Amino acid sequence: MPANFSPAEAAHLQGDSRSRQIRAAQVRLLYSNVNVGGVVTLVAATVLARLQWGVVPHLSIIVWGLYTFLIAVARFMLARRYWRAAPWSLETSRWGTTFTIGAGLAGAGWGAAGFLLYPADHLAGQMFLVFILGGMMLGAASLLAPRPEAFLAFMVPTGIAPAVRLMLQGDEAHLEMGLLAGIFVVATLITTRRIHQTIVSSLNLKFENQDLVEDLQIEKRNTEALNEQLEVRVQERTAELQRSTERLRDEIRQRELIEEELLRARKLESLGVLAGGIAHDFNNFLTVVQGNVEMAKMQLGRNQPVRAILDRTASACQRAALLSSQLLTFAKGGVPVRHLVSVAKLVTDAVDLARAGAQTSIEVSIAEDLRCAEVDPGQIGQVLHNILLNARQAMPEGGIIEVRAENVVLAGAQRADTRVRISIRDYGSGIPVDVLPRIFDPYFTTKPGGRGLGLATSYAIVAKHGGSLSAESRPGHGTVFTIDLPASEESPAPQAPISSEIRTGTERLLIMDDDDGLRVLLKAVLTNLGYEVQTARDGAEAIALCEDAKAFGRGFDAVLLDLTVSGGMGGIEAAARLRELDPPVKLIVSSGYSDAPIMSDYRKYGFDDVIPKPWRIAEVSEVFQRVLASARDRKAT
């Protein structure tokens, strides 16, 4: 809830939201019962028409039966449209009103049966008619109970009409029968009302349980924060043990206690959420560092020694961004976000990362004509890292790891099927024959403290890319892992060099990001480029600023929206609201989750451009110039 709302306003908004949720669920219940109600209606109408055929004019039965059939079909088609439309909660009222009208028309038809199909001189026909109409009311009590206006619209005309018709007969017996029918209608309505209240209570309890789950997730995140603090404490204690042998026994005992506490805390953590959250925050920090480095470079002018230091800092930020991308890949574990990339560069980067702090030597052989591939570079990089890490661990005392990348054509294919093959060989102790078939099984591991997810995750990632991952091993002679990926005949487009000229502008911009440092940095960068800039913490605040600006006739030319906002409205929801408020406005999405599908298909979600984190000032300048230039061209025409 935005911070500028008072507690009373927040409670009021929460109550309104809960009412809309319950109403939407009630409408869904109504439409889920349409097919059952339609079948019952057609069967009951057929039986009633057949039994009244000999005691009621045929024309009345035919007209009434046709009306009942058409109303049943119309309600069935309405239900099909509802389920195909998958309506938003804002459309619930319209769908509920339409359903109520249909229920009222159906009720009017059954109420009309109380007059049209009433045999004045045939007591058995009268009783059967009243029995059928009473049965329809009882059936409707359970099907239409979710909304009072729906069951009232159906049951009142259905029940009142036969009661009135019986009383119009005039004799004492029919008057008493009409009175009993009226009492039955009132009793049925009271019972249906109680069913309705039970449904409302159940739905309210359901949504309260959902809120409770969200609260538990918040507590879970707090536990994860505690876990990070515990890890820091373990590191501090370990360093202290190494410096002070006199306190060795006491420090070891304390470390064991802390590790036991840490183990208990880790049972509650969700590794995917933790890794993704860390990578997201890490990208935010990298953006602040990199942006301020570029700001400093702009202020320094030609001070070459200092610029060289800042250039090295910026390069380190780029390498850190690669690590963050790999962490995001492990966190999401989902469908690959593919790009045409150089496999040679993927292998080189993975080897450079594996060499850090290793006692082993890694020899690399890459074919000069090695093909490229359409892959998710983060996920394939994670696969290479997992396998190289296993190779290092297979030779704890050091040795040689051989990495080879080449083009191969699979034998037996009906047409040429060129693959990029990456093989990683170690000369460790090898894998036992009885263990080798199970190494790709989830949660299977022979390492003390291992989780058995590294190779299983790698196997799944390669399979999702249409490739294959296999292993061959001989005990005592080492292991070779082979990765085959579909090759591409295309080459990646060369990256455009970073322009030294930063482009400026004068338009009004709105920046939404939940990170205070990023908001301050972006405002400083864009203000220095000549723009008029306002900032917002979340989507709700951004919408409010746009409404105020539009009211004063000074709307924003472009809005930058952070994709994920902790505890507030994020970029996707805010974009939809801003499009309704100001259709011509240019929307740009930015996120530390740089591998999220929306970042590669942003137009599908209503955005005009994208800025992944961490970014460079030149990239920010270029994106804003690109989207604002299209707006200027449209105004000129």
Clarify whether residues 411 and 548 are in a common domain.
Answer: no
296: in domain:
no
DSSP secondary-structure letter at 414?
S
500: in domain:
no
% of residues, the chain, pLDDT over 70: 77
**What count of other Cβ atoms lies within 10 Å of the Cβ of residue 31?**
21
308: in domain:
no
CA distance 76 to 74: 5
Clarify whether residues 514 and 465 are in a common domain.
Answer: no
Q: Could you say which of 456, 486, 516 is where a domain stops?
A: 486
Clarify whether residues 462 and 545 are in a common domain.
Answer: no
Question: Is the model's pLDDT at 423 over the cut of 70?
Answer: yes
Residue 151 pLDDT grade (very low, low, confident, very high; cuts 50, 70, 90): confident
Q: Could you say which of 172, 190, 212 is where a domain stops?
A: 212
Q: Which residue has the tokens 């939809």?
A: 576
Q: pLDDT at position 402, please?
A: 93
**What count of other Cβ atoms lies within 10 Å of the Cβ of residue 539?**
25
Q: What is the pTM of this model?
A: 0.40
Clarify whether residues 449 and 537 are in a common domain.
Answer: no
For residue 532, the domain's CATH number is 3.40.50.2300
CA distance 296 to 310: 8
301: in domain:
no
Clarify whether residues 406 and 521 are in a common domain.
Answer: no
574: in domain:
yes
Q: pLDDT at position 348, please?
A: 92
Question: Is the model's pLDDT at 353 over the cut of 70?
Answer: yes
104-113, 289-298, 540-549: which range is least confident on average? 289-298
Q: pLDDT at position 268, please?
A: 34
Q: Could you say which of 163, 194, 212 is where a domain stops?
A: 212
What is the domain count for the chain? 3
Clarify whether residues 594 and 452 are in a common domain.
Answer: no
Clarify whether residues 464 and 513 are in a common domain.
Answer: no
Q: pLDDT at position 359, please?
A: 76
pLDDT (tens digit, 9 = 90+) per residue, 194-251?
A: 888 888 888 888 878 887 888 888 888 888 888 888 888 888 877 776 777 776 776 7
CA distance 185 to 177: 12
pLDDT (tens digit, 9 = 90+) per residue, 455-473?
A: 877 888 888 888 999 999 8
Clarify whether residues 471 and 548 are in a common domain.
Answer: no
Q: Could you give the 3-state DSSP secondary structure of residue 441?
A: coil
Clarify whether residues 470 and 585 are in a common domain.
Answer: no
CA distance 348 to 404: 11
Q: Could you give the 3-state DSSP secondary structure of residue 426?
A: strand
Q: At what angle do helices 248-266 and 172-243 cross, to 10 degrees?
A: 160
Clarify whether residues 440 and 527 are in a common domain.
Answer: no
Domain span including residue 56: 7-212
For residue 395, the domain's CATH number is 3.30.565.10
Clarify whether residues 169 and 32 are in a common domain.
Answer: yes
CA distance 268 to 217: 11
